[in-house]
Structure 1
Amino acid sequence: MAEAATGDFRELFHRGQLTIGISELSKMTGVSPRQLRYWQKKGYIIPKNQDEPGRARIYTLKMVIKAAAMSNLLQTGYTLKAAAAQVDERMRPAQTMYHVLFDRYQGFQVNDDGEIIVDLGTFDPDPTQDLFAKLVDERPVFILKPKA
């Protein structure tokens, strides 16, 4: 199998590498920077660099989605507190999927037939095997292989 570059893809999406500043967040959500700072003060949104006082605020993709969703709910009549709670609840399944996919993702390979095989790392119930996935007729199929 041909080994493909894995680090670039994983690092791009893992641990909040995609970030924007407060001005861009304001433009994307239609929420003023002043209002975004208030949301931050209340703990509803958290800049990635919150532990670096005096530096310009930067926000992860997760916070962009949260702020946009909160803005939409506010426009439909939710209070700020209720909008934040509703968004947190709606984001829980997405956060679970993110962790399942990106915490397990080890990379991918392209086999001799051109199939993409995704490496999901050690199979937890049996650490002597690795778990892989591929698509067959656009459906995931899982494969266990003994560790190399």
Structure 2
Amino acid sequence: MDEDETNLIKRFPMEHIVLGIGDVAEATGVSQSQLRYWERKGYIRSQEVGDRKNRKFSYKTLMQVEQIKTLQDQGLTLVAAVKQAQRRKDLFDALRSFVNGRFSHISMKDDGDMQINLGEFEPDPTQELIADRVDGQWHFKLIPAVK
């Protein structure tokens, strides 16, 4: 992976991807009327655009709708599915925050092994924390920081 790919990973604007209600309904199999109901109940949120009649949903909301539907299909009530989906969303948001805050660089070799630089090792700013994936296994090491 070159520097351009590293920057693409760091700057992928997931929160800027927006879809219409019809797109979300088609992608998830949840009807538009059900999406409007979920929005009225506060289970999902849309972004108002233009004349305030059209609503757009973020990609993150599309994923939340998919989670709720999947959990309902597994037998959970709507309220339980919403709670579980929110918990999963919170976990993924924490993971994304970690990656955004720590991710410095990624490189991949032709054989699929990769190295992720997680930046400065806080107890010792002269070192950087590196995660190496070799043969599918992750290993961590410290290397001298490049300044």
Aligned counterpart, 2:7: 7
- Structure 1 or 2: more strand by fraction: 2
TM-score by length of 1: 0.73
CA–CA distance in structure 2, aligned partners of residues 59 and 74 of structure 1:
20
Contact residue 4 and residue 110 of structure 1 kept, 8 A: no
Q: Secondary structure at the match of 2:123?
A: coil
CA deviation after TM superposition for structure 1 residue 83, in Å? 1.9
CA deviation after TM superposition for structure 1 residue 3, in Å? 4.7
User: Deviation digits for residues 6-50 of structure 1, max 9, x if unmatched?
Assistant: 2212222x5524443221111112222232122122221123x35
5+ residue gaps, structure 2: none
CA–CA distance in structure 1, aligned partners of residues 80 and 123 of structure 2:
40
TM-score by length of 2: 0.73
CA–CA distance in structure 2, aligned partners of residues 131 and 51 of structure 1:
43
1:139 aligns to 2:137 (yes or no)? yes
5+ residue gaps, structure 1: none
**Higher RCO (CA-CA < 8 Å; seq separation 6+):** 1
Aligned counterpart, 1:121: 119
Task: Report sequence identity in percent.
Answer: 31
Aligned counterpart, 2:95: 97
Aligned counterpart, 1:25: 24
User: Deviation digits for residues 82-116 of structure 1, max 9, x if unmatched?
Assistant: 221122234444333333334322222468x9963
Range that drifts further, 69-78 or 20-29: 69-78
**Which amino acid in 2 is paired with 1:89?**
R
Contact residue 102 and residue 119 of structure 2 kept, 8 A: yes
Give 4+ residue runs of structure 1 displaced > 6 Å after superposition: none
Range that drifts further, 122-131 or 88-97: 88-97
**Which amino acid in 1 is paired with 2:96?**
Y
Q: Secondary structure at the match of 1:23?
A: helix
